[in-house]
Amino acid sequence: MTRAKAFLFEEGKKRSWQGECAICGKVRWLQVCHIFSQGKYPRAAFMPDNCFPGCWRCHLGPGGWHLEPTWAAAWIVNRLGACEYEKLKLKVETAGPVEYTTTRLWLLEQMK
């Protein structure tokens, strides 16, 4: 989320990000939204291009990303452009296995 200009807040072991939601543009607590679901494409769960920051409302709330898939698909194609969307789709569908140790180190580095 560093690339999204979000700020990390730590309270004990709990970590939360605050920054601009990519969907509504409001500064709120953020979640990681996956363009291609991590359930269907677990190998793309940690792929940065497959993620964007979103607030709870836009991600999981009524009318949001998960509850309105038709709207969500149109929004992301509009945001990325049809060509970039298709490139990402191909990348996600052909992703190799996740190397968890390397991915964890990379994510920790991104959070500094």
Task: State the residues that interact with Zn ion by CB under 5 A.
Answer: 21, 23-24, 55, 58
Q: In angstroms, rounded to a whole number, what is the distance separating the alpha carbons of residues 15 and 37?
A: 22
Q: Shortest distance, CB of residue 82 to Zn ion, whole angstroms?
A: 24
For the range 60-64, what are the long-range contacts, defined as Cβ-Cβ under 8 Å and sequence gap of 24 or more? 60/31, 64/23
Closer to Zn ion by CB, 74 or 105: give it: 74
Q: Shortest distance, CB of residue 112 to Zn ion, whole angstroms?
A: 26
Q: Shortest distance, CB of residue 85 to Zn ion, whole angstroms?
A: 20
- Specify the residue for token string 């920051």: 53
Measure CA of the first residue to CA of the last residue in the chain; give whole Å: 10
84: its two tokens: 């970039």
Closer to Zn ion by CB, 60 or 95: give it: 60
Nearest to 5 by CA among 49, 46, 52, 42: 52
Closer to Zn ion by CB, 15 or 26: give it: 26
DSSP state of 64: S
Q: Shortest distance, CB of residue 4 to Zn ion, whole angstroms?
A: 12
Closer to Zn ion by CB, 20 or 49: give it: 20
